[in-house]
Amino acid sequence: MASTPRAQAMTGAEAVRRALQGGSTDWRSVVFQTLLVLLLVLTLGILAWLLAVVFVNGIPVLAERGTDFLTSPLASRPQLAGVGQAIVGSLYLMVFVALISFPLGIGAAVYLEEYARDSWFTRLINTIVRNLAGVPSIVYGLLGLAVFVVALADFTGGRSLMSGGLTMAILVLPIVIITSAEALRAVPGSIREAAFGVGATRWEVVRSHVLPYAAPGILTGTILSMARAFGETAPLILVGAVVGGFNVQYDSVVGTLQGRYTALPTAVYDWARKPPTYSGNVYAAIVVLIVVLLLVNALAIYLRNRFERRW
C-alpha cells in the first residue's frame, strides 16, 4: 500500500526514531545564517564605531564646559563658542515648522483620505506627494532661497527665521501628509459606516471618530517629521542660517521671525569647516544633536505604544 519497502523493513518505534533522528546537518543553512549574522554585526559595528568616536571626543568637552557650552552664543574663539543660539534657533524653527506644516499636512491628508473621490486626479496628487517626500532637501533649500528669501523678502525679511521655517515646513509637508494619511487609512471602514449609518454627516464622522482614532498615529508621524527637520542642514544653509557670530534680539514676534537665526546642525557644519581647534566643539554639538533626536524619537515611540489602537 502506501508503505515503502524501507519502512516495512524496520518495525514500530525503532523505525520512527531512526527516521526522526537520522537527518544530517544542513550545512548550507548554517553558512547562510552565519553570513547574515556577520552582515548584521558589520552594519551595527559601523554605527557603533561612529557613535563611539563622537561620544569619546564630545563628552569630555561637554564635561569640561558644562552648561556653559549649552548656553553660550556662537563666537570666534572655540573656547567661548557654544550652542546656545543654535538650540534656541532650532527650537523656534521647530515651533514655526509645526505651526505651518501640521495644519496644512493633516488637512491635506484628511481631504485626500476622507473627502476626495478616487479619481485620476487624486491618484496623481498622491503620487506627487510621495515623490516630493523623496526629493533631496537641497532642492527645497533652492526653492526657499528663490521664493522666501528673494521673492518674498519684504514679508520674510530675507535670510530670516521665517524663511528657514517656511522652507523646512515645505520640506516636511509631504512626510506629514503621508504619515497622517496612513494613520487615517488605519481606521477601519466599518467605523465610518457605523457613524454614517446613524445619520452622521461626513464632517461629524471625521471629527468625532476618524480623527480622534487616528490621532495617535498622526501624532507619531508628525513628531518623526519634526525630528527629520531638526537634523536637516543643507536647506538651512541656503536660506540663510547664520554660520558665524551674530547678536540676536528676540524682542518682538515679528522681529524674531524676520531676524537672523542659526540651528544646531548648521553650527555643526560651520565648526566642522573651521580649524582643528574647533573639533572638540563639533563633537560636543553632535552629541547634543544626537541626544535631542533620540529623545524626540523616544517620545514618538512612547506615544505610539501608549495610545496606539489595534483593530
Partner 1 sequence: MSVRSRQASPADDERDVHEGPTIRLMATTQTLDESEQIQPASAGAQGDLAFASDDVVFELQSLSCFYGSFRAVRDISLQVPRNKITAIIGPSGCGKSTLLRSFNRMNDLVDSARIEGQILYHGVDLYADGVDPVEVRRRIGMVFQKPNPFPKSIYDNVAFGPRVAGYRGDMDELVERSLKRAAIWDEVHDKLRQPGTALSGGQQQRLCIARAIAVEPDVILMDEPCSALDPIATLKIEELMRELKENYTIVIVTHNMQQAARASDYTAFLTMGEDRAGYLVEMAPTQELFTRPANRITEDYITGRFG
Q: Which residues are at the interface with partner 1 (CB under 8 A)? A: 117-119, 188, 190-201, 204, 208-209, 213, 309
Angle at 89 between CA 249 and CA 289, to 5 degrees: 150
> Does residue 217 contact residue 182 with C-beta atoms inside 8 Å?
yes
Taking the least distance from each CB to partner 1, the nearer of 3 and 119 is 119
Q: Which is nearer to partner 1, 75 or 116 (CB)?
A: 116
Shortest spacing between CB 197 and partner 1, in angstroms: 4
Measured from the CB atom, is 145 or 206 closer to partner 1? Answer: 206
Judged by CB, which is closer to partner 1: 35, or 124?
124
Output 210 or 226, the one with its CB closest to partner 1.
Answer: 210
Longest Cα–Cα distance of the chain, Å, equals 96
Q: Taking the mean position of all CA atoms in its chain, how far away is CA 195?
A: 34
Q: DSSP H helical segments within the chain, as ranges?
A: 5-9, 12-21, 27-65, 67-71, 84-110, 120-132, 137-144, 153-156, 161-185, 189-197, 202-205, 211-231, 234-238, 253-258, 264-272, 279-307
Grid coordinates belonging to 100:
505651518
Q: Which position has the grid cell 471625521?
A: 206
Residue 117 beta carbon to partner 1: minimum distance, rounded to whole angstroms: 5
